[in-house]
Chain A
């Protein structure tokens, strides 16, 4: 079945780049998404990439997609304290479902 996997924790120093990785299993996925969840809140869409793209950049965010390895990454440049949150990777799979990973908790060190 479909599955999306992420590491649970990432700690980076303020000002450094953060790279959050994700692997997925459904090779027919058309869209892949990154969501951000701050404490006590719902999920907020950060960015998404269509499966025929390799890279998408949006200000401090860069998404890289390796379809061959089914690997997706999110890079946050110049990480700030406001970037502390849980980041979810998700794929749009067949049968009209969006499957989420377990989320990566990003913490920022001063």
Chain B
């Protein structure tokens, strides 16, 4: 019963470094998404995917890349980390875009 697994749980980066946040789900869900959560701003959609090989931009895509080569995995890449990307990142999945989403436990990312 793994559900949605995010790694790492915590990460500290220096400005300009790159890294990949991993997200994997074992429920054979077609829809996957990445959000960032900042105080007082709720969750903002970064990128989403309606199936393998298909990705699209959300509200705040700048500075992030995604790919969806398999149904199970949906990694989020920070190309050149900036302090403004300090946040908690959540990955979610669902059988279809309008179905309730299952969330991972989040990755807490600090950019110094």
B40 contacts A8, C-beta separation under 8 Å: yes
What is the minimal beta-carbon distance from A7 to any residue of chain B, in angstroms?
Answer: 12
Q: Given A42-B90, A42-B105, A42-B106 in contact, is the A100-B100 Cβ separation under 8 Å?
A: no
In the bound complex, what is the Cα–Cα distance between A5 and B56 (angstroms)?
Answer: 24
B67 within 8 A of A: no
Chain B interface size, as a band, is: 20 to 34
A45 within 8 A of B: yes
Interface of A is mostly: strand
Which residues of A28-50 have CB atoms within 8 Å of chain B's CB atoms?
A: 30-31, 33, 35, 41-45, 48
- List the one stretch of A10-18, A54-62, A72-80, A90-98 in contact with chain B: A90-98
The residue of chain A having its C-beta at the shortest distance from the C-beta of B99 within the complex is A31
The residue of chain A having its C-beta at the shortest distance from the C-beta of B38 within the complex is A102
The residue of chain A having its C-beta at the shortest distance from the C-beta of B104 within the complex is A42
- Chain B residues near A96 (CB, 8 Å)? 31, 48, 50, 56, 97-98
A99 contacts B45, C-beta separation under 8 Å: yes
B74 within 8 A of A: no
A48 contacts B103, C-beta separation under 8 Å: no
- Chain A residues near B97 (CB, 8 Å)? 92, 96-98
In the A-B complex, the 4 residue pairs with the smallest Cβ-Cβ separation, listed nearest first, are A42-B103, A96-B97, A102-B42, A100-B43
B interface with A by C-beta (< 8 Å): 4, 31, 33, 35, 40-45, 48, 50, 56, 58, 90, 92, 97-106
In the complex, besides A42-B4, A96-B98, A103-B42, 13 extra interface pairs with C-beta distance below 8 angstroms are: A30-B98, A31-B98, A31-B100, A35-B103, A42-B90, A43-B43, A45-B101, A48-B100, A88-B42, A96-B48, A99-B45, A100-B35, A100-B44
A interface with B by C-beta (< 8 Å): 4, 8, 30-31, 33, 35, 41-45, 48, 88, 92, 96-103
Report 13 cross-chain contacts, Cβ distance below 8 Å, ordered by A residue. A30-B98, A31-B98, A31-B99, A35-B103, A42-B4, A43-B43, A43-B90, A43-B101, A96-B48, A96-B50, A98-B45, A101-B42, A102-B42
